Amino acid sequence: MEKKARPWRIKQVQGMYEKKGTLSFDHPIQRKGSQWGGYQKSLFIHSIASDFPIPPFYTTKIDDIYFVLDGKQRMTTAFDFINDMFKLHDDIPLIDGFDARGMFFSELPEELRETLQFQNLLVYELEEATDDEIEDIFYRLNNGTTLTSIQKTKARMGGKMASKFEEVLSHSFLSNVVKLTPAQVRKEDDLKLVVQSMMIREDWYEGVKSFGVAEVCRYAEGLQDNSATDRCLVRLKETFDYGLLAIEPKQKALLKPIHVPMLVRTMWYAIDQGIEIDQFRSWFLDFSERFQQEDMTYKEYCDSGSTSASKVKGRVKTMETDFKQFVQGGLA
C-alpha cells in the first residue's frame, strides 16, 4: 500500500462528487447519513472560513472512482452549506470580525464565499490497499471518535462482508415497515437488528447469551465470509420480502426494535411451513391488538432486562407458540 498526499480545493471535490461522479461516499464500511448536528456543521464551516487546521481526508481509488474512507461528514457538510441546505448556527464566533450567524452561503459576501470554495483540503490517496488494510485504517482513524460499538464492528467485518449485509440493510422492509428513525439508522441499529435476527434463527436461539450490544458485536465479528452466511442473508431477504406484504406498518407497537428479531424469526418459520401471507397478516393484526389490550404472557419478557438471555428466549417462545396456536385454530 502506498499513500499519496494531494491538495484538493473544495470546489474541485464538490464537482467530482456532484458532476463527474468520480468521488463516492458509498464504500461499504462507511457510516450512514449525517452524524453531526447544526452547531457542529456550522463550526466546521467556521473553521474553513477562518483558516483553522482541518484534519486530512483519506480515499482509496477503485475503477477511477475515489471512495472516501474518512472525512465523509466534513465533505458533505461543506457541500451542503455551499448548496444553501442549512444556515450557520447563531452561536458560532465571528469570522475575522464578520458576523455570519444565521446566514446561508448565498448571503455571505463574495470574498467569503470564494474563501470557502477555494480552500485546499489535504487528501491522502491510498493506492493498492487491500480490504484488510482499508478495514484496519478505518478502525484506527475512528477509534478515538464517537463511533458506536456496532459501527466499529461494521468496520472490522471488512468491506466484502459489509457489502453483503448492505443488500439486506437496504431492503424496504426496514425503511417502510419497521421505519427506523434517522437517528437509529445513523447508529447502525438496522445492522444490529439484522444480526440479532441471525442470532435467533431456527434452533440457534437456544445458545443466545444476551442481546446486549457487546454480545451482538461479538457474534457479528465472528461471522465467516462463507456459503453458510450467504445462505442466511438470502433467507433474510426472502423473509423481508414476505414481511413487506404481510405486516401492516401502522401496527407500530410490535415494530419496535425489541420485537423485530422475534417477528423475523416467526416469519422465517411461516415461510418454511408454507403459511400464506394473508394468514400471517391476520395473526399479526390479532397479536398486535391483544398486545396492546391484554395482560398477555409475551409482555412479561418485554420489561426491564429485555436483552438478557431469559427475556430473549421468552419472547421467541411465546410469540412462536402464539402463532402456531393461531394457525392450528384457523385450520381446525
Structural domain boundaries of the chain? 1-146, 148-332
Please name which of 196, 191, 160, 190 lies closest in space to residue 178, comparing C-alpha atoms.
190
Using CA atoms of 176, 178, 182, 188 in order, give the dihedral in degrees to the nearest 10.
Answer: -120
Per residue of the chain (332 residues), give pLDDT as tens: 788 898 999 999 999 999 999 999 888 766 666 668 888 899 999 999 999 999 999 998 888 899 998 889 899 999 999 999 999 998 888 998 999 999 999 999 999 999 999 999 999 988 877 777 877 777 777 665 556 778 778 777 777 888 889 889 999 999 899 988 877 887 888 999 999 999 998 787 788 888 988 889 889 888 888 999 999 999 999 999 999 999 988 888 899 999 999 999 999 999 999 999 999 999 999 999 999 887 889 999 998 889 999 999 999 999 999 999 999 886 54
Secondary structure (3-state) at 5: strand
Q: Strands, E, within the chain: which ranges?
A: 2-9, 23-24, 57-62, 65-70, 120-127
Q: How far apart are CA 119 and CA 198, in angstroms?
A: 47
Q: Chain centroid to CA 314: how far?
A: 28
Query: Can you say whether residue 100 is alpha, beta or left, with left for phi > 0 and alpha for psi between -120 and 50 degrees?
Result: alpha
Whole-angstrom distance, CA of residue 126 vs CA of residue 115: 28
C-alpha span between 308 and 215 (Å, rounded): 10
**Contact assessment for residue 208 and residue 312, using Cβ atoms and an 8 Å cutoff:** yes
Q: What does the block give as the cell for 247?
A: 405486516
Q: What is the CA radius of gyration of the chain?
A: 24
pTM score, whole prediction: 0.61
3-class secondary structure for 23-87? Answer: EECCCCCCCCCCCCCHHHHHHHHHHHHCCCCCCCEEEEEECCEEEEEECHHHHHHHHHHHCCCCC
Residue 317 vs residues 60, 300, 313: alpha-carbon distances, Å: 47, 12, 6
